[in-house]
Amino acid sequence: MGSAEGWSMQWIRRSFIAGFFVMVPLIISVAALVWAFQLVDGVMVPLYIRLLGREIPGLGLATTLLVVFVVGALATNVFGKRILQRGESYLLKLPVFRAVYAPVRQLVAAFSSDNEMGFKRVVLVDDPKTGYVLGFLTKEFMLDRGEGDELLLAVYVPTNHLYLGDVRIFPKNRAVYPDLTVQEGVRIFLTGGMAVSEALNAARTESKDPLVAASARGDEEKTSRLTAADHES
């Protein structure tokens, strides 16, 4: 009898814990969607009440989505892009607006694969002092310390979610490139590493093109020779 009661309690506890971990993300997601809907929809509610005399749920959200679509359509052609850039330049002359808009725009643009100033890809660097470092490649550049050019990488390493982090500089020959998209890299940081796959493929070069790979190998060999020369001196 006692064993049956113990088994029943264990079954109840396991079921409750399993239900908890299933329901909590679902509830949070639904609550976030409801909050976002109310926020976006509520922006246009006063205007439509004044124009139509009553509130129509969802009309504000539809209007907002339409505005986003129109702005996106303008941004994808040369003429519209010039108009948006001109308007943006006027707004950036306002000190308060510039202080808020510029950092937010850069942060959002960093996740765009079409943006040259954004995150290029996920990179894994073998740091002899701290071990492996996972981050986002933001820039490749050459450094001349009087002994020839050295190819370096600027890597953004988030330390608190994605909004705060450190920019670290590493030699390119210490970096490998996991088979991960930027979005998958973001998910890894947001989940505290739990989203990392059990097996990852990583390559020294960013391209499978033989010419690009050969160039990268040449850069690595050059960097290795410079490093060896530094040690000998």
pLDDT digits over 9-39, tens only?
A: 788 888 888 888 778 878 888 888 788 777 7
- Per-residue pLDDT band at 211 (split at 50, 70, 90): very low
Least confident of 92-101, 111-120, 170-179: 111-120
- The pLDDT score that the predictor gives to residue 161 is 62
pLDDT digits over 129-154, tens only?
A: 888 888 888 888 888 887 788 889 88
What is the mean pLDDT of the segment spanning 203-221? 46
Q: For residues 135 and 162, what is the distance between their CA atoms, to the nearest angstrom?
A: 10
Higher pLDDT, 137 or 102: 137
CATH value of 121-232 in 1.10.3470, 2.30.30, 1.10.287, 2.60.120: 2.30.30
What is the mean pLDDT of the segment spanning 66-75? 83
Q: For residues 137 and 158, what is the distance between their CA atoms, to the nearest angstrom?
A: 12
Rounded to the nearest 5 percent, the helix, strand and coil shares of the chain are: 55, 20, 25
In this model, does residue 209 exceed pLDDT 60?
no
Write out the DSSP string of 46-60.
HHHHHHHSS--TTHH
